[in-house]
Structure 1
Amino acid sequence: MTTSFKPRRSALYMPGSNARALEKAKTLDVDCLLLDLEDAVTPDAKDLARSQIVAAVSEGGYGEREVVIRINALETPWGDDDLAAAVKANPDAILVPKVNAPADLQMIAHKLSVLGASSDLKLWAMMETPQAMLNAGAIGACGRDGQVRLSCFVMGTNDLAKETRARLSPGRAAMTPWLMTCVAAARAGGIDILDGVYNAFQDEEGFAAECAQGVDMGMDGKTLIHPKQIGPCHDAFSPSKEEIAWARRINEVFALPENASKGAIQVDGKMVERLHAEMGRRVIAIADAIAARA
């Protein structure tokens, strides 16, 4: 089965001001690298971080890892220079912070065209403001507009907690309505969505629980702040052997000539519908893409 599916189980933030971290990132078993020019970089190190990220991405060596540069907002003193530098480096995507409405992405997409950006360069959107939660559906709809290049939401739960004063308590009860709203908006727009970071990276049990919650919510993966979180994150967001075997079994039975026109059939004593076969094909695509990375 061929697929263009990209695993996005893990997305690790790496500060652009740390040259050693940018080099170490080439050895980490992570799906996505978020090379950061924004929150992880102090104002006096912004220029250094920008030049180091451009050099690192231009040099390459990141293999199958999806490389994403998070720029500063355009209204900051560094935003325009970050955007121009990111276009020059030509990563897989640019992560845009503080997206409040579709117009924010449309403006940056226009600037990418003016800068002569590659047509393959995508935009990811940080969903981290009250306005973004109120406009999530409209922002997600940009995923259906090829001119805007949107391919992924990234939940910025720390900033969202700060801006709304909602507490990030275990179980994230206060945050759940916004998380699920953004999941629905992402799916309506045909894009992926990554869960926010878990701050207590030494708390393995708490991290595992939040990963499991993200899987239940329908997230495609999770953003990380420490390499030690990669393995447990992959465990949570990868299909199990049992899930893969069942997906293959359903599709095998539906593929039989006698089942070609049936909408529901019995498989090993269970009633399954054709929609379960479609869901199974995605599980198989994920598994195949993960296996191809190994």
Structure 2
Amino acid sequence: MTIMLCTFIPCSAKAVIIAMITDTFFPDSIFMAPAMYFLGIAVIVLAGIALKKTGAFAGDPAPFVMELPAYHLPAPKALALHVYDKGKHFVIKAFTIIFLSTVAIWFLSNFSWGWEMVPEEQSILHDLGQFIAPIFTPCGFGVQTGDYGWTFSVASIQGIVAKEAVTQTIEQISGSLIEGGDFSMLVSNSGITQGGLVGFAVFNMLTIPCFASVATAKGELKDHKTFVWTILFWVGLSYLLGCLAYVSVDYVWSLGITIPALIAAGVGLYFYDRHMNKKEAMAN
């Protein structure tokens, strides 16, 4: 369960996405950025409670034992090794995943299916973005965002590789589509709504963090079925919450349906848990 839930805490790469959206569309709001962090914590708590009620995670919790080292000022050698290790990891990531994704975006956004250099609107990336855009329509950043909206869909797919690639992809494509363009101009030209941006942020905050996380989960989860369910859980929950965020912001009246539905689901889960506990007690 820890592997399934810990990725909902925003990392430094996700913080860049929050900063970009907050600075562009919610500059006067002091609540947007903290809300994203609290959202991750709330999702962990509520999803943990819900998962605990399922058969896969039922039973007594396993004791958590962590050995704490002696606290003292760090030795210069140990500090230098730690900084070297982190710096090496970043450089490798920057010159592999991020660099290769940048090259791929440049190539796909400048060449057609006939391998000819063309404007962005006739490129392979444009066609791929238009193809996958309908998938994200319920989240608010799909076909309803117009001719430039496919950029958000492409950036979200790139974010599965590495979250740093989300902002890099948007800036790179918007600069090609709009002369002197940046994220704020892309938002203005695409017509994406506040709800769509919130849905975009929520989806990217909660979905698959990066390929490195997937590889780690694969190594820790020996059972292939559990690994597949973990990936589906990350994608499915982030997609659902992205849809709810979009609808709740742009269509406030829908809260009259969403909130009672969530309450009903919680009550149903509570009584289901009581029924299963009573059934287990009678069996014993």
Higher helix share: 2
TM-score w.r.t. the length of structure 1 is 0.26
**Structure with higher RCO (Cα < 8 A, 6+ apart):** 2
Report the structure, 1 or 2, having the larger strand content.
Answer: 1
Q: TM-score, normalised by structure 2?
A: 0.26
Larger Rg: 2
